[in-house]
Structure 1
Amino acid sequence: MANKLAMFGLVLLALAVFAAVFAPWISPQNPYDIGKLDIFDSKLPPGSRDAADTMTYWLGTDGQARDLLSAIFYGLRTSLMVGGISVAAALAIGSVVGLAAAYFGGWIDALLMRIVDIQLSFPAILVALILLAILGKGVDKVIIALIIVQWAYFARAARGAALVERAKEYVEAAQCMSLGWPRVLLRHMLPNCMPPLIVIATIDLAHAIALESTLSFLGVGVPVTEPSLGMLIANGFEFLLSGNYWISFFPGIALALSIVGINLVGDHLRDILNPHNAR
């Protein structure tokens, strides 16, 4: 509570999660129900009313006559879901790989870390573009691509933390008790390696959302029929020069505030889990 920036970030993140979870109930309309859209309501400026004078578009409409506020709520739902699932899966895979490399050492460590080094040597956006060119469009395809892009970060961090834990007495005691290596890794070492991984996961969530939005903006991410903040920004990009700025502006603001909120929370979470970093 004493950290104003952290509280501000927590409020932004809570609002984004609330809007995403309750989008079907709090949205003024279902922006992806074609039967409820009227072409005469396309590209209306913020504060306009529909042709039947029964509804106010507080943030205006896009080129397909969709209420922009409703589209942003649904777009947050897709972006947070894709980012959350991909980060959780990458965290699980990377943690297991990093723990195994630190625990067994030798050629297993060398092999796994060389794979990680190769993965980290390429830009994330380039790897994601190549994967989506092979897999095709779709929410599930984007999630798979983001998992492959992100797992190496967690593997490197998990290995560094596990090397410290590997030399401690409780690991030696567990080995002397002839406990199996899966139990030693997952029940004893993993909980002590989680604090840095949680911080990385929080920061990487913002990176995953931004990367998904970038891929959707480039037209290789989620399909046009799926709501996404990146897709909403792309839909309005062609109308910027004609003065219809709001079609891209408001989804861009929603995306920026969500990423800022996640980063502020992750930055303060790092200080909580490691007091030596506190300012």
Structure 2
Amino acid sequence: MASEDSAVALPLPAHESLWRVFVSQFVSSRLAMAGLVLLVIFILLAVFAPWIAPQNPYDIATLDIMDSKMPPGTANMDGSLTYWLGTDGQSRDVWSAILYGLRISLVVGLVSVSVAFLIGAAAGLISAYFGGRIDAIIMRIVDIQLSFPSILVALVLLSILGKGVDKVIYALIAVQWAYFARAARGAAIVERNREYVEAARCMSLSWHRILWRHIFPNCVPPLMVIATIDLAHAIALEATLSFLGVGVPVTQPSLGMLIANGFEFLLSGNYWISFFPGLALALVVVAINLVGDHLRDILNPRNEV
């Protein structure tokens, strides 16, 4: 029997070793880690907003009209609350409004990207696997979709659907799914003729099992990069739509709506009403883009691992 000293450690499974390489490469980038930490902070602030915010900015009973448009660092009339980022035209604490606005912006972005990811991935996989007429029909729809600017498509849809968080999510899904469909099709075309797919066909596995259990996992890396970048795009696009007055309603304002609420007061010197929500929006988008850019660099097949 071999002694314990001569025992050789078993090698890690392939997926575990690849995961360790991925993590080590991601951690090696200071910008990516800074973006990830900042993004996690924003998510935590949004999740715990009801407990962190010093005021519920949408509870009319807690607002005092005398506290309207107070500059940053000013205390309220009875001195019980200091508005560190000031108040807006409705006497709402800007810091509290940002925390609650983050919840709407992040929920809209995450839900729309997640659903668009699934719809686009399914369309792209089916298009690549079956080819022929099905591929032609799906790709023509994708081409038509991508030929129009995203904001134009969203504006048209919201003019039909009306205002509402759910309506904005529907519009963003319709805008984004085509990006995932094209990327999924490109990745699936490479995978469909590989040996493991041929072996699965020889075993008479169903087409949907082959697509989702065998081809789809190998198409996830490029789709995850697109999802990360599209998340920033969705949040920015929702803010633009809300700023234009066709996005979320005033009763459920996102960061974009908060910026729009303070726009009319900029010329009067009340800059903080729009500035701080705009700064929060910019930091969220930058944090997501830092993570997405480094993911793209790591998962780029032309890079050496």
Q: TM-score range by the shorter chain?
A: over 0.9
TM-score by length of 2: 0.90
Q: Larger C-alpha radius of gyration, 1 or 2? A: 2
Partner amino acid, structure 1, of 2:288: I
Instruction: After TM superposition, list the pairs within 5 Å mapping 1:1-279 onto structure 2.
Output: 1-274=27-300, 276-277=302-303
How far the C-alpha of 1:159 sits from its partner, in A, is 0.2
Contact 1:271 1:278 in 2 (8 A): no
How far the C-alpha of 1:45 sits from its partner, in A, is 0.4
- Separation in structure 2 between the aligned mates of residue 278 and residue 139 of structure 1, nearest angstrom: 43
Unpaired stretches in structure 2, ≥5 consecutive residues: 1-26
Unpaired stretches in structure 1, ≥5 consecutive residues: none
CA-to-partner distance for each residue in 1:108-133, whole Å, 9 max, x for gaps? 00010000000000000000000000
- Separation in structure 2 between the aligned mates of residue 11 and residue 115 of structure 1, nearest angstrom: 38
How far the C-alpha of 1:176 sits from its partner, in A, is 1.0
Deviating above 6 A after TM superposition, structure 1's stretches of 4 or more consecutive aligned residues are: none
How far the C-alpha of 1:277 sits from its partner, in A, is 4.2
The 3-state SS of whatever aligns with 1:276 is coil
- Separation in structure 1 between the aligned mates of residue 204 and residue 54 of structure 2, nearest angstrom: 61
- Separation in structure 1 between the aligned mates of residue 149 and residue 251 of structure 2, nearest angstrom: 28
- What's the RMSD between the two structures over aligned residues? 1.1
Contact 1:270 1:277 in 2 (8 A): no
State percent identity of aligned pairs: 75
Change (3 A) 1:22 1:271: same
- Separation in structure 1 between the aligned mates of residue 296 and residue 144 of structure 2, nearest angstrom: 28
Partner amino acid, structure 1, of 2:72: P
CA-to-partner distance for each residue in 1:156-179, whole Å, 9 max, x for gaps? 000000000011011111111111
CA-to-partner distance for each residue in 1:193-220, whole Å, 9 max, x for gaps? 0000001000000000000000000000
TM-score by length of 1: 0.98
How far the C-alpha of 1:271 sits from its partner, in A, is 2.3
CA-to-partner distance for each residue in 1:213-245, whole Å, 9 max, x for gaps? 000000000000002000000000000000000
Partner amino acid, structure 2, of 1:16: F
Equivalenced residue count is 279
- Separation in structure 2 between the aligned mates of residue 278 and residue 82 of structure 1, nearest angstrom: 36
The 3-state SS of whatever aligns with 2:302 is helix
The 3-state SS of whatever aligns with 1:93 is helix
